[in-house]
Amino acid sequence: MSGRRTSINDVAKAAGVAIKTVSRVLNNEPNVREETRAQVLAAVKRLNYHPSLSARSLASRRSYLVGLVYDNPSANYTIEVQRGALARCREAKFLLLLHEVAGRSEEVIQDILTFANQTHLDGLIVAPPLSESAELIRALDAQALPFVRIAPNEIKHRSPYVDIDDEAAAREMTEYLIGLGHRSIGFIIGRPGHFASGERLRGYKAALKNHKIPYVPEYVRQGDFLFDSGLEMTRQLLALPKRPTAIFAGNDDMAAGALMAAHEMGVAVPQQLSVAGFDDAAIARTVWPPLTTICQPTYQLAYRAADLLLEMLLSSSTPKPARLAHTLVRRDSTAVAPNGRVK
């Protein structure tokens, strides 16, 4: 670290061209002779030159900074989101800044706006459940800050988003259980207000209907996406006179709670009770038995979200939303229903 860092001037001198030409090569602009381009690249390599982000940023009135805001629902989920967004940003030579928020909605919004203003963010990626906040969307709109939402709810807004088909996924899982011979299937709903909670419930209902299985209200319980609610609701479901032979929880944390309730009450999983989750979070593989669940392509969702944002920033267009595929992962927590006939 002695003396000056090497700059575009050094490269220009070494390659025998003007700095504008170096700039063209570095930014993959057209109208450079192939030979000239090669000379410049050779000089870049020889001098181990790395362009200065601050200079570029200052001159182009663009920060090359993208923010990722999240209200950490679970560490594993968040890490995957970070990975996906980071990967795409790195490719485009943008920097990703993380910003975790928590607390009341009003403060959270102010917090995010302050973050965006202080860092002069070019754009923002909004992870769920923040992506479901109508107030936040409105506030970002008012700032004219480009943003992309991951798995948002039904809020109508022209900004792009990426998601999966929660209803279809829940329908598939329910039909998978039906296929195993289950006819009494409990369902634990996710936190009220989350769009995904409602969609998953809708998928459960649709599957029952498709198979002409009556909907039993007492089999459907309200949880909140947390372990404890899965535990408590399963205790209630298993205490029912005619208890369900399968329980489908709105996410893996609640499914893990369901497993614990079964252990407590001496109900064998999967022999006497099948349990299914949603998300394929890390907990799905650390509980016993490992959970049958729906795998969301979290990394891909975040990668794609970053991709859409960069497209907005670089071409100032408004890209179309993207819907990605989920998969049903079969593990050991589900099995043929006791006395059940497999279809």
Binding site for a copy of itself (CB under 8 A): 1, 5, 48, 50, 52-55, 57-58, 61, 63, 65, 72, 75-76, 78-79, 82-83, 86, 93, 95-98, 100, 117-120, 144, 227, 253, 256, 260, 263, 282-283, 286-288
Distance CA 211, CA 219 (A): 17
Written as one string, the DSSP assignment of 180-213 is: TT--SEEEEE--TT-HHHHHHHHHHHHHHHHTTP
Counting contacts by CB under 7 A, is residue 20 touching DNA?
A: yes
Nearer to DNA, 82 or 143 (CB): 143
Nearer to a copy of itself, 174 or 251 (CB): 251
Nearer to a copy of itself, 209 or 263 (CB): 263
> 134-143 and 105-119 helices cross at what angle (nearest 10)?
30
Nearer to DNA, 14 or 173 (CB): 14
Binding partner at 96 among a copy of itself, DNA, none, C-beta below 5 to 8 Å by kind: a copy of itself
Nearer to DNA, 4 or 343 (CB): 4
Binding partner at 260 among DNA, a copy of itself, none, C-beta below 5 to 8 Å by kind: a copy of itself
Binding partner at 23 among a copy of itself, DNA, none, C-beta below 5 to 8 Å by kind: DNA
CA 161 from centre of chain: 11
Nearer to a copy of itself, 181 or 297 (CB): 297
Binding partner at 263 among DNA, a copy of itself, none, C-beta below 5 to 8 Å by kind: a copy of itself
Q: How far is the CB of 23 from DNA (least distance, A)?
A: 3
Nearer to DNA, 57 or 236 (CB): 57
Nearest to 148 by CA among 317, 326, 327, 325: 317
Binding partner at 24 among a copy of itself, DNA, none, C-beta below 5 to 8 Å by kind: DNA
Half-sphere exposure of 137 (CA within 13 A, CB side): 21
3-class SS string, 5-43? CCCHHHHHHHHCCCHHHHHHHHCCCCCCCHHHHHHHHHH
Distance CA 23, CA 56 (A): 10
Give me Rg for the CA atoms of the chain: 26
Written as one string, the DSSP assignment of 66-110 is: EEEEE--S-HHHHHHHHHHHHHHHHHTT-EEEEEE--S-HHHHHH
Counting contacts by CB under 7 A, is residue 36 touching DNA?
A: yes
Q: Which residues, 6+ apart, have CB-to-CB distance to 251 below 8 Å?
A: 190, 225, 277, 278, 279, 281
Binding test (CB under 7 A) with DNA, winner from 23, 143, 222, 300: 23
Q: How far is the CB of 106 from a copy of itself (least distance, A)?
A: 19
Q: How far is the CB of 71 from a copy of itself (least distance, A)?
A: 13
Distance CA 304, CA 84 (A): 8
String of contacts with DNA for each residue 49-88, x by CB under 7 A: x-xx--xx-xxxx---------------------------
Tokens found for residue 226: 């947390």
Residues that bind DNA (CB under 7 A): 4-5, 7-9, 17-21, 23-24, 26-27, 30-33, 35-36, 49, 51-52, 55-56, 58-61
